[in-house]
Structure 1
Amino acid sequence: MSGVTVSRRRFLGGAAALGTAAGLGGLAGCSRGERPADELLLWGVSGDQVPNQQKVLDGFTAAHPGVKVVARSVPSAVDGDATPVITAVRGGDAPDVWYMDRFTGAQYAAIGLLEPIDDLIKEFGDEGITDDYLRFGVNELTYQGRLYGLPVGTDVRALYYNKTLLRDAGVDLDELDPKNGPLTVERVFELSGKVTKKDARGNYTQMGLVPWLDQGWGYTWSIGTGAVYFDDRACGLDLTAAPVVAAFQMLADWGRDAGHSQVNAFTNSYQPPTNAAPSQSAFLAGKTAFTVQTSTTVFGLKKYAPDLEYGFTFLPVQKAGDQPYTWSGGFSVVAPKGSRMTREVWELMKFYGGKPGQQIFSPATKSLPTLKSLFDERSLADMKPFIDQLEYSTSRPPIPVSSLWWDALVQVHSAMKIGSQTPASALERAQARVGPQMEAYCPFTMPEGYGQKGL
């Protein structure tokens, strides 16, 4: 899943539209229309993933012949805008199950938009259901000790490389074999220098790693520098801590040395800075030797650049011997406020987010399973190198101001790309924007085990 932005006004506006969690609870009795008890409404995927979801639903209805599922393609709020589901809740037409970007789980739970599922788990005897799930996936759906959904699929971020460009530059590709562990950031930049080319006018025609492209967010690099972001004891966010500043300083220094305008002119000619099509990227065009991307990128490479000879390895580390790191996103099945919360609803959530659904959905979409018992599935053998990286992964902080926090970091990231601010000043502005909003939710603690690597 790629990072996205959301404005402070949209986030706070969504919260205001909902009112308090207690106030929203009063909507549970609103009219739901005339939908039969055995008909479930799912707000699911859209686009080219609809056929894959339908296979999951076909499997569910075959196992539950008395239940009908009506699936609608509705935005999954990956941009932090909960307006569609707010409108549905207020109008008494909320879906029973919602396929939702789980990064927003704590945020929407905090404002009362989601139903906790702890009572369903207890009522239908499914205690221990979360034991097989990746810990960070469960944590993203946990708020103040209560669980609000099941994680459906996930990903990791890795360093992709163009074998042809590197080989032509005299680079020994064995150095990039994951079996040899991660390269350092310094070494990747050295290899990038071997590949980089300019024309007679000084314009870039080929580059190595452009560290801020694709999934090369400042946040991505900050995990490698040891950033934490949230302090449980102080119930506070810290976007100005030294590890955070160090990650963004790396981007700033690289941009200064490479030339912001020259780099942006080069990359923009292959991938527009906004609304780029999936087929538009400098890496897919064979013009960069490296990029940081998600595991699902293999799907795009096969579709849009079938002849590109590529490999992938761990994200670069700060110094030789450092442990690998990465981070993961993904989706979930949740029950928004107004869901009927029946046995049938719970069975659909368990099927879609459990083994039966993931065995169908993950191989088709190249998403990684969130169930550890599926890691060795033969149908996922081609994704095993990415699955093996999950033990080094974490998620973005599951906090009640998640979209606002991410948007603030993205704005800092954008400033580094054009050299308009220093990392310290940009992060101070971000802190001033997000910190007070987080304070409104205190006391708050992160889910147990958040940030700890390991399965």
Structure 2
Amino acid sequence: MMQRRTFLGGAAAVGALAGLGMLAGCTAAQRDPNQIRLWGVGGDSRPVEKKIIDAYGKVAPHVSVVNSTVPSNGTGDATSIITAVRGGTAPDLWYMDAFSCAQYASLGLLESITPLIEKYEDSTFLDQWLQFSTDSLSLNGQVYGLPMDTDTRVLYYNKRLLRAVGVDLDEFDPKNGPPTIERVLEISQKMTKKDGRGNYTRLGLIPWDGEAWAYTWSLGNQATFFDDSNCSIDLTAKPILDAYTFLYDQAREMDFGKVDAFKATYEPPNHPPAQTSFQGEQQGFLIAQPIVSSLEKYVPNLDYGYTYLPVAHKGDKPYTWSGGFSLVAPKGSSMTKEMWDFMKFYCGKPGQDIYMPAVHTVPTQRDVLKSTNPAIESLGLFVDQLKFSTSRPPFPVSQIWWDSMAQAQDSVKLGTKTPIEALETAQARVAPQMDLYCPFTLPKGFGGTGA
């Protein structure tokens, strides 16, 4: 599940960033060009990353990669990188959430890699990655990173629970297209059970759980989040308002407090990976990114499937969206040919061939996507959806935009604000921040269509 993010922003960030260029410039020239400092991945993926580094060592034995894992207070937390850039200790490369790239670049925390592309590569260099993945790493015509992995969102369903309420599983076969929201909610009502005190013991779809963000439903409504013609964000636009109204109505109908108590019982805060309400079969539907490897690890006997996200009307085209990670060069990076060659290896076909099958995430490099490796082929629908997927728009105020939408979602779930009140509050927070960066346009395909 995506966690709520924090970001050092506004006046505090501007003050913290004063003088970055001077400090960064001093240290880059003093570095050994044959040593690359990397802030890499953590957790279970770290041994896989070491295999990439070891493989590169065979290609370039004269280059050493010093790899560190830097703790963070959140996916969008910039504290560590601000401190490193100010102190002249930033790494050459940093593995980070691609969504944060545009905002970090707008604050002067990242180096543009466009000069390296222009110096060493041909005009088709970026074409080897999915377009939305490179678009998400660009700002004002400059590229600030190379994409690594990605994902797509799907609707998971419990086959046993569907059968128990008389549903033909063919109805949820992806070859039959996306199910409708109305049908999923209808089945969810049949799945729902309560104890003698009226507490939920089983639910179907919780429309705000997992990756079922209001943003997700807004995409399904064909929302456009930015107008290139006048450099504006309108969070009160009808497709977005309709998505928040849907969540507001569902939270009232289902009684948000009782749903919250249900989640606290079967999927409590800080729960172990094996303890979720979907894995425990207390929840029949879940919108999420690829969690297949986790399900296979913790509940190998769970009888489940997955299909496209629910749509408003039968026959509507499927939709989804993608996140992902990337390598970027923080301000003060050496920006050497040696660094660039390693960056290309890591994010290109050699690195993704090693990384993706092992960690069960979706590649962004087109040749790897065509791989006959069983681990890649098993991703099935997650890969098939890439042809119509998008990423969240790479705004220079991306974190403020996302946090404001998430706070609005919290308000409508709790019922403390109506949908329009919640979105007007979000708009009042985001719009003045965005105005500071105008004129501005998103990469082609975002501003005009929102996808």
Q: Distance in 2 between matches of 1:62 and 1:11?
A: 45
Aligned to 1:27: 23
Distance 1:408 1:298 in 2: 30
Residue 41 of structure 1 pairs with residue 37 of structure 2: yes
Partner of 1:282: 277
Superposed CA deviations along residues 353-407 of structure 1, whole A, max 9, x for unmatched, are 1000011111111111112222221221111221001112111110011111111
What is the CA distance between 1:37 and its match in structure 2?
2.7
Of the candidates 318, 321, 331, which is equivalent to residue 327 of structure 1?
321
Please, what TM-score do these two structures have when normalized by structure 2? 0.95
1:242 equivalenced with 2:241 (yes/no): no
Q: What number of residue pairs does the alignment pair up? A: 449
Contact 2:224–2:450, Cα closer than 8 Å, also in 1: no
Aligned match of 1:337:
331
**Number of the residue aligned with 1:261:** 257
Structure 1, unaligned stretches of length 5 or more? none
> Within 2, Cα distance between the matches of 1:118 and 1:76?
27
1:32 Cα offset (Å): 5.6
Amino acid paired to 1:5: R
Match 2:286 to one of 277, 291, 299 = 291
Instruction: State the alpha-carbon separation in 1 of the partners of residues 49 and 226 from structure 2.
Output: 36
CA distance in 1, matches of 2:273, 2:423: 30
Superimposed CA distance per residue, residues 140-195 of structure 1 (whole angstroms, 9 cap, x where no aligned partner): 11100011111101000100001111112211111000000001100100111121
* One of 363, 372, 376 as aligned partner of 2:366: 372
Find the residue that maps to 1:420 and give its secondary structure: coil
- AA aligned to 1:14 is A
Question: Relative to structure 1, is the Cα distance of residues 276 and 232 closer, same or farther in structure 2, using a 3 angstrom cutoff?
Answer: farther
Distance in 1, matches of 2:162 and 2:108, equals: 51
Pair 1:202-2:194 in alignment: no
**What corresponds to 1:316 in structure 2?**
310
1:89 aligns with 2:80: no
2:102 corresponds to which residue? 106
Alpha-carbon distance in structure 1 between the residues aligned to 2:336 and 2:216? 40
- 1:399 to 2:395 alignment: yes
Equivalent of residue 158 in structure 2, options 162, 168, 184: 162
Are 1:414 and 2:410 counterparts?
Answer: yes
User: 1:33, 1:93 within 8 Å by CA — same for their partners in 2?
Assistant: no
Distance 2:81 2:262 in 1: 40
Distance in 1 between residues matched to 2:371 and 2:330, nearest whole Å: 32
- Distance of 1:269 and 1:11 partners within structure 2: 38
Residue 24 of structure 1: CA displacement? 3.0
Partner of residue 209, structure 2: 213
Pick aligned residue for 2:54 from 41, 49, 58: 58
For 1:358 and 1:40, how far apart are their aligned partners in 2?
Answer: 19
Write the distance in 2 (CA, Å) between the matches of 1:311 and 1:453. Answer: 31
Corresponding residue number in structure 2 for 1:433: 429
Contact 1:394-1:453 within 8 A present in 2 as well: no
| TM-fit CA distance, 1:36 | 3.0
- C-alpha root-mean-square deviation of aligned residues, in Å? 2.0
Instruction: Report if aligned partners of 1:106, 1:142 keep a CA contact under 8 Å in 2.
Output: yes
Q: Percent identity?
A: 51
2:116 is matched with 120
Using the TM superposition, give the Cα deviation of residue 39 of structure 1 relative to its aligned residue in structure 2, in angstroms: 1.2
In the other structure, the counterpart of 1:4 is 4
How far apart are the structure 2 equivalents of 1:12 and 1:190? 48
Whole-angstrom CA distance in 1 between matches of 2:222 and 2:68: 41
